Structure 1
Amino acid sequence: MHHIPQLFSAQDGCLTGETTLSEGVGMPLSFGHAYMTLMICLSGRTLVSLNFKDQVVRTHDVLVLAEDTMTLLKRRSQGFKVFFLLMPKNLASEVAYPLPNSLFVFLHDNPLCVPLQKDRALLAAWLVQLRQIVQARGRYQHIMLRNQLQNFFLRIAEQIPSEYQGSQSFSRKEMISWRFWELVGQQCRKHREVKFYADALNITPFYLSQLSKEFFNDSPKALIDRQVVLEIKALLSYSQLAIGQIADQLSFEDPSYLCRYFKRHTGLSLTRYRQHEQARSGVVAIG
C-alpha cells in the first residue's frame, strides 16, 4: 500500500502492515485515532521533519510517534518502505504502565531511534516474532503483543543515559502551526473551510496562510483537502461502508458531491480506488 494508515476510532484494535507512504509526501502525517505509531524502516530512506527538526530515516531506523508528534514527510527514495503498528490508547496505556518515565521524556524529544549495529539482528528477530503474534490470532495474542512491545521499549530505555533530561521548546509560530495541524486531524471530517481553523486559533486566514506556507510549504486549504482525501481513502480501503455512509461520516451533502470531490483530487472514481486497494492492502487489524 502507498497511503497513510489510519485508526478510525479510539475503540479500534491495533493495525499493522507495510506502506511506502508515497501519498504522504509534502504534508504532515496523521494516523487517525492512533495514540502511538511505531514504524520500522524496511528499505530506502526518507527526509522527515519531526517536531520541526529535519532528520533522515534509513533502513533499520525506528520511529516512535505519539499522537502529538508533528511529522512532516519531505522526501523519500523510490524504494522507501516501512512496517507500521498503530496503537489505540487502551493498548498503549497497557504497554506503558510498567515503563520508566525517563523513556517517555526521551521519546518525546527523540522520536527517531537509530539502532546500534549490534542490535539490528535483534530488531529483525523481534519484528519476525511480532508479525507471527499478529498473524497467529492465538488465545493469548493480546498478552503476547503487549509483552512484545514492552520488551521493545525496555530495550530502548536501557540505552538512555541516566543523566538525560529533556529540553525542547517551540516558538509561538511553531505552536500555532502544530495546533493547526492537530485541529485538521480532529475536525476535517466536519470542517473543510480555512476560516473555521483560523477562527479556532484566533488568527486571521491570511496569517494562517503565511504560517502554513512557511512551515508546511503549502496553503491551509491544500492541507485540509489532502487530509480529507486521506480520510476518504482510508474508509474505502479499510471499511465496508457504502459510499453514502462515507459521505455522511465526512459531512458531504450527498454521495455525488463526494464522488466529484474525490475524482477532482485523485483522478480516480471511488469504486475503482476501493477495488484496487482492498485487493492489495495486506493490512492486519487486531480486535
Structure 2
Amino acid sequence: MNTVPQTKSSVASANVFVLLLKQLRPKQWTKNLLIFAAPLFSITQISKMELSKSVIAFFLFSFISGCVYILNDYVDREADRLHPEKKHRPMASGALNPQFAIIFGVLLLSFSLVVGYMLNPLFALVLLVYFVLNVSYSLRLKHIVILDVMIIAAGFVLRAIAGGLSIDVPFTPWFLLCILWLSLFLAISKRRHEVQLMQAKETKGTTRKVLHSYSVDLLNQLNTIVTTATIICYAMFTSVSGHTHLMWTVPFVVYGIFRYLYLVHIENKGGTPEKVLLTDRHVLVTVVLYAVSTMTILSYFD
C-alpha cells in the first residue's frame, strides 16, 4: 500500500534533480576547462593530489557559474516566457519553482565558497569576485558597449588565475595576457555573430540594446587587433616562460585562430564558442594536438 507514494516521491525527487542540473547549464561548463591551463603548463611540477585539487576547482567554478544562471533566470523568468527558445528553461516553463531554485542557489554558492576557502583563501576570493562580476554583468554591465565584451574576457582571466591558485603555482603576466586577448577574440566574435544575425533578420526591437551600438565593420577591426595581440603574446610567452621548446606549439595556436576566423566570416558561426569547440572537428583536433604536444614537450624536452 505504501509503495506507490514512495515511488511517486522518488520520481518527483529525480525530476527536481534533473531540473536543477539543467538549471546549472552543464553544457556551459566547457568554458571552465581553462582551470586546467595552469596545471597543463606545470605538468612536471604537480602531484596527483594537486591535480585532484584542479578537478575540485573546476566543479566549484562550474557551481558558481550555475548560481549566476539561477539568479539570471529568476530575474528574467517573465521575459523568458515570451522568448521562443528561453521559454523552455526550467523556471520560465514553470517546471521548477523559482523560490526553491533561489534557495538551492544560495546553498550551492555558500557551499562552493566554503570549500574554495578550504582549498585556498585567495581561490575563494576569485570565486566571489567572479560571481559579483557576472551578476553585475547580467543586471547592468551587459548593456554598456565595449565594456560588455571586456567583462566576458575578464571572466576567463579569473578562471586562469583560479586554476593557478588552486594548486599554488605562479603564472607569468604573458600567460594572463594570452588568456585576455584570446577571450576578447571569442567575445568579439560572438558579438559579431549576434549583430550579423540581428541585421539579417531585422529583429532590432527584440534584441539587446547594446547590439545596436556595434557594427560588423567595427567588430572586424577589433578582432584584427586582438588576434594579432594573441599570437604575439603567445609567442612571447613561450620565449620567456623558461620552456623555449613550446615555440613548436605556436603553429597550433595560429591555425586554431585562423580556423575560427574562417568559421566566423565564411560559415557565419561563432555565436557559441563552446559549441564550436565540440562540433567543429578541425578546432577540436587542434586543441587536442596542442594539449598533447604541450604535455609532451614539458615532460620530455624541458
Using structure 1 for the length normalisation, give the TM-score.
0.33
- Bigger fraction of residues in helix: 2
Larger gyration radius, structure 1 or structure 2: 2
- Bigger fraction of residues in strand: 1
Using structure 2 for the length normalisation, give the TM-score.
0.31
